[in-house]
Structure 1
Amino acid sequence: MRASPLLLVVSFLPLAAHAGETRCWFEGGVLVVPAEVMGLAGDYVLDTGAPHTLMAETQAQGAGFAEVALRGDIRLAGLALRDRPVQVVKLDSRLRPLPTPVAGVIGADVLVGRVLDVSFAPCRVALHEPGQAPPFAHAVTLPLVWREGRPVTAAAVADGRRAWAGDFVPATGSDTPVRLRDDLADAPGAVRHEALYPYGATRPRLRALSFAGDLFEDPASGLTAKAELDAAGEIGAPVLARYRLRFDFVRGELLLAHEKGPPDRSGGP
């Protein structure tokens, strides 16, 4: 049965890699990287749309951490990021769809003032300090600005009757192609409305998403709570995986180039 439409209302250690670069995995529709947080090495979701770095409560307890607010070092893609805040939270619902255990989420707070390169085919992540990023051949440049600890850029959506443009969070840790803030959209007739939210089972179809000059027709979608997002919505990893990406948080730019081949397990639109 076709899903209800969404209507607008308005591995522990990486394989051999260059310094500043690591392999990654595109699992369960999200980007996963090997990293070390507070001395705990493991696989972490790398989420440009998450304002904070998180450690799963079960992993923190197993490592002997009793506090919920920690500070310590984070090692990612060959860089050591010193004295970073880490929050301990329950992540069961978020991590359940992943086929292997994940220790937490690397958030946008460790990316501020740096340059992040992401390629999905093959999957590689590189993190550069200011002035150290190599040239990046790209086709499209979009402005990036920070809002409530998240980067946002422009996109547009349509439900077949109306189209609307706004600021969206490009989120490599979101497993849904596009999500809209719940005061801007709804899915009439949805049996369990709460299942429309992140990590829920219901994925209604939106008529179209326009992003970086490309049109994505009939993408799977969902809602996100207004209280949790000061933007129109999120563009998730299944859409972002169509590109090679440079998040240049120094210049405030998102650079995109089309991938030469399809990513593995994309969970695409």
Structure 2
Amino acid sequence: MRPAASLLILCLLAASGGPALAGETACWFENGAVVVPAAIGGMAGDYVLDLSAPRTLLHETAAQRAGYAETALTLPVLLAGQRTAPGPVTVQDLDYRNVGFFTPILGVIGADILGRYVVTLDFAPCRLDLELLGSAGRPRGRGLGVTVVGGVATVQAAASDGVGGVAGAFALDTASNGGVRARGPADAPRQKPAGTLPALSLDGVLRRDLPAVVAGELPDGVVGALGVQVLAGYRLRLDPAAGRLWLTPVAGHEKGPDVSAGP
């Protein structure tokens, strides 16, 4: 359930035109996705946070209710105390992204917005921090190398179906209820796993028998996406300017019966 206080504060900030400072906001898990209070233009409400989405999307129902008839808009985004300059927002029918959510989802905050910041995401409790690029210190350790492919940040991983395998660039999907997501129908919901992936190797850790979602577009050159059932075992810190992703294991989540040290 979304925190009403956070949404109220967000609405007040949107109306007052507050300064764009680095900030943070509570988020929450719903239906296997990270959901945040945000506003596109004057449309404040619940938005899915999706690092694997190249573009920020607005539900056509919300756009029409606000008086917009176009499918391509130029609007500011307010998220975690940060207000962006007006930029491209794509209007789409997002009914398929609303499947299974308790409250209506107004849109998707994508990598075109999130890539402007150093993003830190904690999953338990859920919290999103945004820092201006170049202003943040770096955690200890080397982190994983990040390559932007088709507008989204990716890291190297490898997957196997037990017969063959594939390795390459995997996006970070904070909006799919599974361990991994493969390319599938653009309008299919991401909340119902369609099968099981026998093995996934990420940063020297081998995971077995992960629920797999087959839904949604991925940019050319992106092999697949890592879902929340993998990502929630870590604190994520993504610094696009540095080209690094730091994954800090959360106690009690990094090891389990189907997780082992990789080769």
Q: Verify same fold: TM over 0.5.
A: yes
**1:112 corresponds to:** 115
Q: Percent identity?
A: 42
Inter-CA distance 246–79: structure 2 relative to 1 (3 Å threshold): same
Contact kept in structure 1, 2:22 and 2:130, CA below 8 Å: no
**2:156 corresponds to:** 154
Give me the CA root mean square deviation. 2.8
User: What whole-Å deviation, never above 9, does each CA across 1:76-134 have from its counterpart, x for those lacking one?
Assistant: 11111111211110010112122221110000001224200000011000111123325
Give me the TM-score of the superposition, normalised by structure 1: 0.80
CA distance in 2, matches of 1:85, 1:261: 41
Aligned residue pairs, count: 241
**2:206 corresponds to:** 215
> How do residues 128-147 of structure 1 correspond to structure 2 at under 5 angstroms?
128-136=131-139, 141-147=143-149
**1:7 corresponds to:** none
Worse overlay, 116-125 or 104-113:
104-113
Deviation for aligned residue 1:181 = 4.1
Inter-CA distance 208–72: structure 2 relative to 1 (3 Å threshold): same
Contact kept in structure 2, 1:140 and 1:257, CA below 8 Å: no
CA distance in 2, matches of 1:229, 1:99: 33
1:249 aligns with 2:263: no
1:206 partner SS: strand
**2:124 corresponds to:** 121
Contact kept in structure 1, 2:147 and 2:243, CA below 8 Å: yes
Deviation for aligned residue 1:222 = 3.4
**1:178 corresponds to:** 180
Inter-CA distance 136–38: structure 2 relative to 1 (3 Å threshold): same
Contact kept in structure 2, 1:224 and 1:233, CA below 8 Å: no
Worse overlay, 119-128 or 224-233:
224-233
**1:14 corresponds to:** 6
> How do residues 1-269 of structure 1 correspond to structure 2 at under 5 angstroms?
11=2, 13-14=5-6, 20-136=23-139, 141-181=143-183, 198-199=189-190, 201=192, 203-224=194-215, 229-260=220-251
Worse overlay, 224-233 or 144-153:
224-233
Deviation for aligned residue 1:258 = 1.0
CA distance in 2, matches of 1:227, 1:148: 8
Contact kept in structure 2, 1:117 and 1:247, CA below 8 Å: yes
Give me the TM-score of the superposition, normalised by structure 2: 0.82
Contact kept in structure 2, 1:71 and 1:86, CA below 8 Å: yes
User: What whole-Å deviation, never above 9, does each CA across 1:9-42 have from its counterpart, x for those lacking one?
Assistant: xx46528899610000111111111111111111
Deviation for aligned residue 1:230 = 2.8
Contact kept in structure 2, 1:140 and 1:256, CA below 8 Å: no
Gaps of 5+ in 1: 1-10, 183-193, 263-268
Deviation for aligned residue 1:172 = 1.1
Which structure has more RCO (C-alpha within 8 Å, separation ≥ 6)?
A: 1
Inter-CA distance 66–225: structure 2 relative to 1 (3 Å threshold): closer
**2:18 corresponds to:** none
CA distance in 2, matches of 1:45, 1:226: 16
2:230 partner SS: helix
Deviation for aligned residue 1:140 = 6.4
Inter-CA distance 113–83: structure 2 relative to 1 (3 Å threshold): same
* Matched AA of 1:149: G
Inter-CA distance 181–19: structure 2 relative to 1 (3 Å threshold): closer
CA distance in 2, matches of 1:227, 1:66: 27
Contact kept in structure 1, 2:120 and 2:237, CA below 8 Å: yes
Contact kept in structure 2, 1:54 and 1:107, CA below 8 Å: yes
* Matched AA of 1:51: P
Deviation for aligned residue 1:220 = 0.8
1:154 partner SS: strand
